Amino acid sequence: MSFNTFGKLFRFTTWGESHGPAIGCVVDGCPPNISIKESDIQIELNKRKPGQSKFTTQRKEDDKVNILSGVFEGKSTGTPISLVIYNKDMRSRDYETIKNKFRPGHADYTYFKKYGIRDYRGGGRQSARETASRVAAGAIAKKVLETKIGKKFKVVGAVTQLGILGCDVSKWNDNYIKKNQLFCPDKSIIKLWEKYLLSVRKSGSSCGAIIEVRARGIPPGLGAPIYSKLDMDLAAAMMSINAVKGVNIGSGMNSAQLSGEQNSDEIFNKGKNTNFNSNNAGGILGGISSGQEIVVSFAVKPTSSILSSRKTIDKFGKNTSISVKGRHDPCVGIRAVPIGEAMMNCVLLDHYLMHKAQCK
Amino acid sequence: MSFNTFGKLFRFTTWGESHGPAIGCVVDGCPPNISIKESDIQIELNKRKPGQSKFTTQRKEDDKVNILSGVFEGKSTGTPISLVIYNKDMRSRDYETIKNKFRPGHADYTYFKKYGIRDYRGGGRQSARETASRVAAGAIAKKVLETKIGKKFKVVGAVTQLGILGCDVSKWNDNYIKKNQLFCPDKSIIKLWEKYLLSVRKSGSSCGAIIEVRARGIPPGLGAPIYSKLDMDLAAAMMSINAVKGVNIGSGMNSAQLSGEQNSDEIFNKGKNTNFNSNNAGGILGGISSGQEIVVSFAVKPTSSILSSRKTIDKFGKNTSISVKGRHDPCVGIRAVPIGEAMMNCVLLDHYLMHKAQCK
Amino acid sequence: MSFNTFGKLFRFTTWGESHGPAIGCVVDGCPPNISIKESDIQIELNKRKPGQSKFTTQRKEDDKVNILSGVFEGKSTGTPISLVIYNKDMRSRDYETIKNKFRPGHADYTYFKKYGIRDYRGGGRQSARETASRVAAGAIAKKVLETKIGKKFKVVGAVTQLGILGCDVSKWNDNYIKKNQLFCPDKSIIKLWEKYLLSVRKSGSSCGAIIEVRARGIPPGLGAPIYSKLDMDLAAAMMSINAVKGVNIGSGMNSAQLSGEQNSDEIFNKGKNTNFNSNNAGGILGGISSGQEIVVSFAVKPTSSILSSRKTIDKFGKNTSISVKGRHDPCVGIRAVPIGEAMMNCVLLDHYLMHKAQCK
Amino acid sequence: MSFNTFGKLFRFTTWGESHGPAIGCVVDGCPPNISIKESDIQIELNKRKPGQSKFTTQRKEDDKVNILSGVFEGKSTGTPISLVIYNKDMRSRDYETIKNKFRPGHADYTYFKKYGIRDYRGGGRQSARETASRVAAGAIAKKVLETKIGKKFKVVGAVTQLGILGCDVSKWNDNYIKKNQLFCPDKSIIKLWEKYLLSVRKSGSSCGAIIEVRARGIPPGLGAPIYSKLDMDLAAAMMSINAVKGVNIGSGMNSAQLSGEQNSDEIFNKGKNTNFNSNNAGGILGGISSGQEIVVSFAVKPTSSILSSRKTIDKFGKNTSISVKGRHDPCVGIRAVPIGEAMMNCVLLDHYLMHKAQCK
């Protein structure tokens, strides 16, 4: 896990800028003989694709993935899988007016301070466009885990808070999530969310979100203490997503307010199965999976590109102001759902392989 | 960052069990010619040491550090620095009664499921005793950063919430933190906290806490996108600490509820200095430090070792119950303050060196 | 350095199969603001390109490199540089007859035993075609080193033994190497070599070679003991090249036969310059560069694809025999010269950056 | 594999200076439930121990190993194993006279140029004393491989050339190697070698050696192309040993002189077993083990500490000369045999685990 590579045994390296000719990734360490088709990856990419509803940016991206290596006659060969997505519908001229200004809340200023040079078109490397590569890598991880663990394995994510509006997590419904454009798990809140989001969009403002990702069917034992703890790697994975500012495992930040009695999940056996009375731990104890559902949530800050004029400076050091027009999501958090799922899949497979190496 | 090693260029590897003969770490990648004395490390270790007040476990640990290599005539030589702390006051018999039971909220069950064997004495490797090694490594990182960056560099942590009781962060006072045993930054709340904590202790229960760590004097440019983002590595660092369940950067989870206008920190120049009107970003944009104060907070769950009887199973699969007597902290979060500071120091130095390598 | 990634701070990840749609690599950790053009890379690739003379395979490969990311307006941005070379002139049908047989001396058998599946077309991933990606990465490393170190920096490789025929290394001539198709450094031997190689080719046989790569202008201090020694990484780099079976640093294997007096290079100062009376060490002492010329040589075994019929087995376990027609180099060692240069450049830059991080 | 850490999944980190209080290592990634006793490690250390015969340095080192963590009730627990060896019989005063001079052939000069500081006592970190830590780590790797692979697994090393005197490798006898103090595999040469070595010692000179290490019972499939090739990692492992200047796999450097027909090892099946007519490949094809015996050899240069006066400079830049008295091996290569075996064991286990992770 270094620079542009994520993972230890299942590793992917992403590359590409928002307005360059292409983006892509190299997936390394994929076990051989796994059935992988471009369509397996495309399905996941389509979940993340912009331009699909009135709730996301109107930038049209085909996001069509091409497999350039590592798959032979429909099966992985154990060698690196190179995936490429060619960029289209790039309107670089949109960015000419802001090429010398640092957009507040964006990484324009910090990239420039770090590198002394930056590709300003669409944010260049700092653009969330990079996350398409992760979704592609995650699709491969998912295929491997489905093959190795079987049907009980499932990762599913949802938006559990949209701006100031939470939802009732106890009403979580996997099927419903797939059916609405906001990845909302709670049917009772959807109308309110849609109304709220359209008003945010209309006003040229933006809002944040909380995403929750759950993994089921994970055997106990995954996670390598101390510095490859499963929760540590999940926290890193989610925090690496653009605009994420906080990560919770299970009860997360709220666990500070619980008593020892409330927090520690009691254990009991029923037949041959080990059960827990609650899941404050989010399925992870001491950095190792317990066999419970793994629950991770993370906060995505509101889109920084807004219509309102904001104070800023330019690259020559002058005070100025900026108002970002272009085509932007009112809530980037929504499209973070498939990204969170992808990162979950990648981390789980990485730990699955590490566990197999050392302990099986 | 793998298994028991943390860091990329400044790396430390920890080892040791709670009731083994010793614990320690090997610090690798320390620049040469840095003045390092055992007392520099001991000062930091003493902050974490148990048995210092009525608010922490009465287990007495000298926690005396020994430098076994890498320092010659008071200066680092650039070679690995081996640090060892011999264990004392180990009462392994305390653990005989629970050696076959899995304590709820602890990693007893998951270690056993992973490895098929575990050193049950004091939690073995899963014990928070390991964190003494990190504090030692962090003390070295601190010395290096003080040498390289100079006086403006400072890392300071505090408890900002104790169980159900928050404090007023706007009253943060570095000096006051040092003077009270709860690392409280807000003088106005301390009496209430003490009263609360003693009642928690008396009842044999426990409570959680939120720790905030701030770093000042950090130049812009630290952090290596995409998968060595500064906030990603900080999230991983903090989540790797025992009992931590959530991590925030700047506004963290709360950023989900902010509007784009509220959240994005406006930028302006005053003379030659770049300033920001607010710090929701916690000093990090796009994974790179902005020059603002870096602000990380994390939640520590309540101590799982409590007096109340809890349902659990034993290693033979039988349902049973457990009540943990022994000597335990009512709030492990308090002693997490120097650990959080140490991890901050280590991550910052690691990124300082990485930035120097690629961009200077 | 793991799986398909080479390097620590300057890292490249290669991907692609001989007869897939493309091969390529992702170069990560390149410092920003380095002038990089496709033509800088193409020059190096052209040295390695087959089909250039009667001494190499007639397979025509354009080997045209495309930069897909990481370079903006002619300068590196510090983000990953993705390079792709589309495959052309692939005659997969050539391989149909041997798809179930394991060619002796090739990795057909071991890939199949490892992965249980393999892309047999042109050797798939095991093909030396992968080395084009390294040459591309090396071209970037070269540009960085030339920018950072300046004009005195130079890496140059040559063939110093062709099959049974050595050359006189004391006659080494950089300019002459460029002028002949065998990368021969010694003008006095070239006619003999050409005659020899044509006879090898005519008979359908093949021969091995020894390549020597020299680096000048390298400052003392590069190399990170113990397990990132400069010579260790160079040995790994060269041994990772297809068909390489031995690596020497300086006097190499011959040093076993020297006495302590003969071997240890005496040191003396002349003005401000430190000099050595000899260079048995090959410019590296204790894993660290001494400021002398760095000298690495390696042996490339003879091409395994020969006309003579050889005993082998097929994937069903049956004994059979094989005779490889196709288009093959009589001596793959010749085209290993630019590859050895590329690996030298990459290792040196990696250590240059590591040294800068820790010691400057 | 970075700085002072070797390995990917089975990793060890060494620390310590020749004349510091102790040396040691942390072994990480060891599978759980492996029977490990201090005596298992001590047996291997004793092979390397100086002061055992008239052929090695008279420095007496107990080299007694202590296990400080990771083993519980005689079994590995899957957590890091910390090993320490306390230094004794250190005569630092021996080094006072040379503390400002750079010994030719040693790393005195390069360490000083790199770090600007060095522990000159006994060479400090550059001393071959570090290799005791590797031998200890290798002993653990050996135990794991014996447990996992079983009785057919065996690694054995020998000296195959002593200075100018080779031996007849076809007379290799495992049992004989154990019985003589020179690790000679060929009984017919031993008298000559002893005579030669005593004369070298008497004259205050030194000689080099070639060590060959063989591994049997290794299943096909170990090795992860491209940049974790088994031969690449073995070359790195052997080149990292002090004073090693060349590494061969199988026919090694000599393969340059073979024809394609001579070099490629023919394959045939006999019953269910796959056999090869020769082993020029040294058991490795395309970076992956073939099931044949793995054969690695490496050259150790002559001891640089010799009685003869040698020209050198001091740290102030003055020309001077040096003659090293102290207690030194006339041929350090001899004690490199158990070190080579240890590195072979570590690399093989590392690849065994990697293969298990990805392909089983």
- Model pLDDT, residue A217: 98
Where does the pLDDT of residue B277 fall: very low under 50, low under 70, confident under 90, or very high at 90 and above? very high
Closest by Cα among B133, B142, B137 to B215: B142
Query: Which of the residue ranges A199-203, A302-306, B286-290 has the most confident prediction, judged by mean pLDDT?
Result: B286-290
How does pLDDT run across A279-311, given as a tens digit for each residue? 999 999 999 999 999 999 999 999 998 989 999
- Top-confidence residue, B175 or A54: B175
Contacts of B353 in chain D (CB under 8 A): none
Give the span between the Cα atoms of A292 and A274, in whole angstroms.
9
How does pLDDT run across A80-104, given as a tens digit for each residue? 999 999 998 666 566 777 789 999 9
Contacts of C107 in chain D (CB under 8 A): 225, 285-288
For chain A, the average pLDDT equals 94
Q: Which of A225-239, A265-279, D43-57 has the lowest mean pLDDT?
A: D43-57
Is the pLDDT confidence value at B55 over 80? no
Is the pLDDT confidence value at A65 over 80? yes
Residue C272 CA: distances (Å) to CA of C32, C216, D313, D319: 33, 18, 12, 11
Is the pLDDT confidence value at B327 over 70? no
Q: Cβ of B259 and A126 within 8 Å?
A: no
Contacts of B261 in chain A (CB under 8 A): 205, 306, 308, 310
Q: Is the separation of the CB atoms in A297 and A160 below 8 Å?
A: yes
Q: Cβ of C358 and B29 within 8 Å?
A: yes
- Model pLDDT, residue D62: 79
Report the alpha-carbon angle C33-C38-C41, nearest 5: 95
Q: Cβ of C3 and D261 within 8 Å?
A: no
How does pLDDT run across D293-340, given as a tens digit for each residue? 999 999 999 999 898 999 999 999 999 999 877 667 899 999 999 999
Instruction: Calculate how close chain B gets to D111, using CA atoms only, in Å.
Output: 9
Instruction: Report the run of H or E that residue B193 belongs to, with start and end.
Output: helix B190-202
Contacts of B25 in chain A (CB under 8 A): none
Q: Cβ of C28 and A5 within 8 Å?
A: yes
* Residue of A4, A23, A75 to mutate when probing chain C, most C C-beta within 10 A: A4
- Model pLDDT, residue C1: 55
Give the span between the Cα atoms of A18 and C77, in whole angstroms.
14
Crossing angle of the two packed helices C336-359 and C131-149, in degrees rounded to 10: 50
Instruction: Calculate how close chain C gets to D229, using CA atoms only, in Å.
Output: 7
Instruction: Calculate how close chain D gets to C238, using CA atoms only, in Å.
Output: 8
Q: Cβ of D17 and B125 within 8 Å?
A: no
Give the span between the Cα atoms of B301 and B242, in whole angstroms.
9
Where does the pLDDT of residue B188 fall: very low under 50, low under 70, confident under 90, or very high at 90 and above? very high
- Model pLDDT, residue A51: 65
Instruction: Calculate how close chain B gets to A76, using CA atoms only, in Å.
Output: 25
Instruction: Calculate how close chain C gets to B217, using CA atoms only, in Å.
Output: 20
Helix, strand, coil percent values for chain A (each to nearest 5): 35, 25, 40
Contacts of D317 in chain C (CB under 8 A): 269, 272
Contacts of D279 in chain C (CB under 8 A): none
Q: Cβ of B220 and A110 within 8 Å?
A: yes
Give the span between the Cα atoms of B111 and D32, in whole angstroms.
11
Closest by Cα among C88, C346, C85 to C241: C346
Q: Cβ of D290 and C110 within 8 Å?
A: yes
Give the span between the Cα atoms of C165 and C174, in whole angstroms.
20
The tokens for A231 are 């929760």
Instruction: Enumerate neighbours of C (3 or more CB pairs within 8 A).
Output: A, B, D
Give the span between the Cα atoms of B80 and B312, in whole angstroms.
43
**Above pLDDT 70, what percent of chain D?**
95
- Report the pLDDT averaged over residues A300-329: 90
Q: Which of A80, A116, A125 sits opposite C79 (nearest CB)?
A: A125
How does pLDDT run across C321-351, given as a tens digit for each residue? 998 776 678 999 999 999 999 999 999 999 9
Contacts of C2 in chain A (CB under 8 A): 11
Instruction: Calculate how close chain C gets to A318, using CA atoms only, in Å.
Output: 24
Instruction: Calculate how close chain A gets to D7, using CA atoms only, in Å.
Output: 13
Q: Cβ of B246 and A242 within 8 Å?
A: no
Residue D204 CA: distances (Å) to CA of D159, D322, D323, D327, D330: 21, 14, 10, 11, 8
- Model pLDDT, residue C264: 92
Residue B240 CA from chain centroid, whole number: 8
Q: Is the separation of the CB atoms in A298 and B239 below 8 Å?
A: no
Name residue D321's beta-bridge partners: D311
- Close Cβ partners of A212 (under 8 Å, ≥ 6 residues apart): A157, A158, A160, A169, A185, A295, A296, A297
Q: Cβ of C15 and A114 within 8 Å?
A: no
SS3 D132: helix
Where does the pLDDT of residue A329 fall: very low under 50, low under 70, confident under 90, or very high at 90 and above? confident
Contacts of D165 in chain C (CB under 8 A): none
Q: Cβ of B32 and C359 within 8 Å?
A: yes
Is the pLDDT confidence value at B2 over 90? no
- Report the pLDDT averaged over residues D74-101: 86
- Model pLDDT, residue C2: 79
Is the pLDDT confidence value at C131 over 80? yes
For chain B, the average pLDDT equals 94
Q: DSSP labels for C345-356?
A: HHHHHHHHHHHH
Where does the pLDDT of residue D90 fall: very low under 50, low under 70, confident under 90, or very high at 90 and above? low
The beta strand positions in chain D, using DSSP E, are: 5-6, 11-16, 22-28, 65-67, 71-72, 75-76, 81-86, 154-162, 165-166, 209-216, 244-249, 267-270, 273-276, 284-285, 288-289, 294-300, 310-313, 319-322
Q: Cβ of A260 and B223 within 8 Å?
A: no
Where does the pLDDT of residue D55 fall: very low under 50, low under 70, confident under 90, or very high at 90 and above? confident
* Residue of B81, B82, B86, B126 to mutate when probing chain D, most D C-beta within 10 A: B82
For chain C, the average pLDDT equals 94
DSSP D127: S
Q: Cβ of B78 and C359 within 8 Å?
A: yes
Dihedral angle of Cα A193, A197, A199, A203, to the nearest 10 degrees: 160
Where does the pLDDT of residue A240 fall: very low under 50, low under 70, confident under 90, or very high at 90 and above? very high
Is the pLDDT confidence value at B58 over 80? no
Q: Is the separation of the CB atoms in A324 and A307 below 8 Å?
A: yes
Q: Is the separation of the CB atoms in A314 and A100 below 8 Å?
A: yes
Instruction: Calculate how close chain C gets to A202, using CA atoms only, in Å.
Output: 35
Give the span between the Cα atoms of C5 and A219, in whole angstroms.
30
Q: Is the separation of the CB atoms in D246 and D299 below 8 Å?
A: yes
Give the span between the Cα atoms of B250 and B291, in whole angstroms.
14
Contacts of B262 in chain A (CB under 8 A): 302
- Model pLDDT, residue D329: 86
* Residue of A3, A5, A9, A69 to mutate when probing chain D, most D C-beta within 10 A: A9
- Model pLDDT, residue A94: 65
- Model pLDDT, residue A278: 98
DSSP D196: H
Q: Which of C15, C79, C116 sits opposite A69 (nearest CB)?
A: C15
How does pLDDT run across C232-259, given as a tens digit for each residue? 999 999 999 999 999 999 999 999 999 9
SS3 D209: strand
How does pLDDT run across D130-150, given as a tens digit for each residue? 999 999 999 999 999 999 999
- Model pLDDT, residue C90: 66
- Report the pLDDT averaged over residues C87-95: 70
- Model pLDDT, residue D232: 98
Q: Is the separation of the CB atoms in D36 and D46 below 8 Å?
A: no
Is the pLDDT confidence value at D57 over 80? no
**Above pLDDT 90, what percent of chain D?**
87
- Close Cβ partners of D267 (under 8 Å, ≥ 6 residues apart): C102, C104, C109, C311, C312, C313, D274, D275, D276, D277
- Model pLDDT, residue B346: 98
Where does the pLDDT of residue A324 fall: very low under 50, low under 70, confident under 90, or very high at 90 and above? confident
Q: Which of A5, A15, A69 sits opposite C16 (nearest CB)?
A: A69
Alpha helices in chain D (DSSP H): 38-48, 108-115, 131-149, 174-179, 190-202, 230-239, 260-263, 336-359
Where does the pLDDT of residue B325 fall: very low under 50, low under 70, confident under 90, or very high at 90 and above? confident
CA R_g for chain A: 21
- Model pLDDT, residue B122: 86
Q: Hey, what amino acid is at D165?
A: L
- Report the pLDDT averaged over residues A18-44: 97
Q: Which of C26-35, C170-179, D85-94 has the lowest mean pLDDT?
A: D85-94
Give the span between the Cα atoms of C295 and C307, in whole angstroms.
35
- Model pLDDT, residue D59: 64
The tokens for C218 are 């390298």
- Model pLDDT, residue A91: 64
